[in-house]
A = this chain, B = another copy of it.
């Protein structure tokens, strides 16, 4: 298992290099090298002998509890991986390549119709995949399970119903009755070098270990890991958008803290891996939103921020800064959304992809349905396909079942953060002093060190005494934004 993971991590290093330092012409053979590593890893893992050995081990009585869990989870992975026949895997790869090309062309022409035939094929392919994987209940469950073990339409429907009713209503209330605060000063010029240094300082402050990682610049910020002792983040800097850099640093930093907190003695094994995309996202969002968009965090940091950018923040006090960075409004693009409207974007995608997979929505008028939902939930008019149904890469890559994990992340984060506040003495006072260690230590203890031992829901219950409940997110949202908007 570790050897296979060595190959996958090597591929991750090659990918990091592509995104950061590789010279332009390097891409041709680099793609081939990565494909070779990934194919070899897949081949080794799905080899018949792997299954034979795992099945033998799972029956053994000589394993300690850690090994037992590693064997069980590995066998589970093996069975999932071998459910898809090689022929199907190859065919899927071709469909993905075609869909991606079609998506690029469609974006260039700003015309969904160009993407539609490929998307139709893709949806059929995902239905077949779901059938091959098999699952209890709804067909879409098999796809969800790939990113969020145990996630099911039955519970997500209830969750997103809540989102549709409560969150849609709340953001409407904010818009209609709330009091906006000025935030023009956030659009000043913030020079690159100062932003870069600030980003490094903020990463250090939350506890990111620069001996076991580094930050670089890339076109799209991401986190990657080659072991718990080498977890790297990237960011990008827009001189006109300071908060985008801060948000991306802390977001990726949150992902990285999870990876750096995984047990290194379980390197390459299930117990040395993150449990799910939802929990991963909970760690990035907890730091990005619950912590770094909070008043205590800026009590700790605003003074030094003001020193770094004296002219930009001249005459601005902590309260007006805090309100400025927490202005929310409906928008067209998911990745530019604020922490409330974001989930309406996900809600729409969830409803659409579930509908596509179960066959209640066809690809024919998908752009029109998309636009209608944006009017209904966000109150915005989508002017064209590029700012509508073509904005995300996911469907062209076959990533069906992925979007919900983004919202799950925020909702888990709110629930986990509420519990942290209860359990950690003086947590907020420590954050106000710039001391994030009590919170990080608690997350390490409750989440990071367990690797894949517990599913998202099991972890959530263990930490908070109940499964995921939107109440925590709504409480957080209404209290925070009610105050900011003077409701």
Contacts and interface: CB of A to CB of B under 8 A. Distances in A.
Interface stretch (A208-216, A312-320, A473-481): A208-216
A25 interface: yes
Contact of A9 (B7, B21, B33, B210): B33
Interface string A350-365: 0000000000000000
Give the number of times this chain occurs in the complex, counting copies: 2
Interface stretch (A47-55, A152-160, A222-230, A324-332): A222-230
Interface string A202-242: 00000001111110100000000011011010000000000
A230 B29 CA distance: 9
Size category, A interface: 35 or more
Contacts of A36: 3, 6-7, 10
Contacts of A214: 21, 23
A229 B13 CA distance: 18
Given A26-B229, A211-B23, A32 B6 contact: yes
Contacts of A11: 10
Contact of A25 (B26, B33, B212): B212
A10 B10 CA distance: 7
A257 to B, nearest CB: 15
A30 interface: yes
The A interface, classified by DSSP as helix, strand, loop or mixed, is: helix
A33 B10 contact: yes
Contacts of A24: 211-212
A29 B210 contact: no
A17 interface: yes
Contacts of A10: 10-11, 14, 33, 36-37
A23 B213 contact: yes
Contact of A230 (B3, B26, B227, B264): B26
A7 to B, nearest CB: 7
A184 interface: no
A264 to B, nearest CB: 8
Contact of A229 (B28, B209, B227): B28
A267 interface: yes
A22 interface: yes
A229 B17 contact: no
Contacts of A264: 29
Given A23-B212, A24-B211, A267 B29 contact: yes
A40 interface: yes
Interface string A1-20: 01100110111011001000
B6 A37 contact: yes
Contacts of A37: 6-7, 10
Nearest to A20: B21
A40 B39 CA distance: 13
Contacts of A28: 227, 229
A29 B14 contact: no
A120 B157 CA distance: 73
A447 to B, nearest CB: 21
A38 to B, nearest CB: 11
24 contacts: A6-B36, A7-B36, A7-B37, A9-B33, A10-B10, A10-B11, A10-B37, A13-B13, A13-B33, A21-B21, A21-B216, A22-B230, A23-B210, A23-B214, A23-B229, A24-B212, A25-B212, A25-B229, A26-B227, A26-B230, A29-B229, A29-B230, A30-B227, A33-B226
Interface of A: 2-3, 6-7, 9-11, 13-14, 17, 21-26, 28-30, 32-33, 36-37, 40, 209-214, 216, 226-227, 229-230, 232, 264, 267
